Amino acid sequence: MRTVAVILAGGVGVRVGLGIPKQLIKIAGKAIVEHTLESIENNDHIDEIIIMMNAESIHELDHLRDSGQFSKLTRILPGGETRNDTTQLALAALPDEECKVLFHDAVRPFIDDRILDDCVMALDTYDAVDTAIKSADTIIQVDDNGCITDMPDRSVLRRGQTPQAFKISTIREAYEIASQDPDFRATDDCGVIFNYLPDVKIYVVDGTAENMKVTEPIDIHIADKIFQLQSKSLSSEPSEVPDLTAKTVVVFGGSYGIGKSIADLAEFAGARVYSFSRSSTGTDVSSRKSVRQALHEAYDTAGTIDHVVVTAGVLSIAPLTSAPKKQIKQTIRTNLTAPAIIAQEAFDYLKESEGSLTFFTSSSYTRGRAGYSLYSATKAGVVNLTQALAEEWTDDNIRVNCVNPQRTHTPMRTEAFGDEPEGTLLSAEAVAGVSAQVMVSPMTGQVISVRL
């Protein structure tokens, strides 16, 4: 039986408070609705996708329909004033023949294949399916005076999520009956089944805590962190070196440490590698002329540039009040100005190849460290640069990510901190392995942590 997924994106985002519909807020380089669409598009059980969009903002999704990336997306239609109105408009747009239909909130971008699979397969046995998770909190019932009147047993309570899935004939019948009720009111589609087709059993599929709904301002920050946590799986599970045959990789800062390990690994994986640094090629990464010359040299020889990696950096230990002016200038120029210059100069090449740009940060980006305050500040700037460029370049299909390695055994670190106990530092080779995975990954706007 054919399966249609309906993405409900009709909200206006009043509670989130950013002045735009919440489904259009960008996280990790893409609008939330686009993340949701990607997850559903990639599921093998879904045959067709329809988006029901806030009518005033429907033009904001034209690029999704025109990109050619979403073969299952057939229509983007205006939604109604309420959730139930939007569902009925979607049902009216679907053909009369029996099919399976899933309704999913556009602002739940972390829907996974397991949930989608479970919902679709459950419809082989049931006519209605909900998604829910156990409640970690005690639920209380209160009266008009705010006093507790009941405390239901938490073990039988669930918190509802989406998708909600139905045989289309069943959900249509429920809405037909509901339309006869002048007091009709329901907060979701399973509520319509529950109230107007009480004999229909509604099966419950287990959701996940990650399948959250972005509703409040704090949810945006939580969602951003979930994307980061998902990315960290790249570093926790060993995998084969990606195939880089016929790809061109340019590494700035590739003469030693992590940069050299990335260059060596990329070459082993079949890539044409061009490594530039001050010590090996006389390349000053803070000089636009020098960067432009390096990229031009690689492109002229290879005919393409697919991946650019920036590992060049300096780490100087000194309180800010006693740091020499020359040291301050060098730290800012090398750690922050240089990535911006390289990004500008690499843009046209990466747009042509639809390639990737990979920066490097440090764990100190989350909190400034005494003794190397400027280093911490510049590394925080690189993270912000990553996230901003991912949004700016998303329409050009350029992926921009940032690798955040835990303390790593490199000449720069040894010079700054001296010898450290064996087994307490990552190897440059381990960081290079994750970096190679990041280069070929479809994600963008991410900070990928690499840990021991």
Q: What is the pLDDT of residues 152-205, one digit of tens each?
A: 998 899 999 999 999 999 999 999 999 999 989 888 999 999 999 999 999 999
Q: Is the pLDDT of residue 228 over 70?
A: no
User: Which whole number is the average pLDDT over 428-441?
Assistant: 88
Alpha-carbon span 39 to 166, nearest angstrom: 20
> How far is Cα 252 from Cα 263, in angstroms, rounded to an integer?
10
Question: What pLDDT does 237 receive?
Answer: 59
Q: Which two tokens stand for residue 377?
A: 């500040």
Rg over alpha carbons for the chain, rounded to the nearest Å, is 26
More confident residue, 257 or 265: 265
pTM for this one? 0.72
Structural domain boundaries in the chain? 3-215, 233-450
**Per-residue pLDDT tens digits for 362-373:** 877 777 777 778
CATH code of 3-215, in short, is 3.90.550.10
Helix (H, G, I), strand (E, B) or coil at 186: coil
Structural fold of domain 233-450: Rossmann fold (3.40.50)
Q: What is the distance between the alpha carbons of residues 48 and 191, in angstroms, rounded to a whole number?
A: 25
CA dist 160 and 323 (Å) reads 56
Q: Among residues of the chain, what percentage have pLDDT more than 90?
A: 62
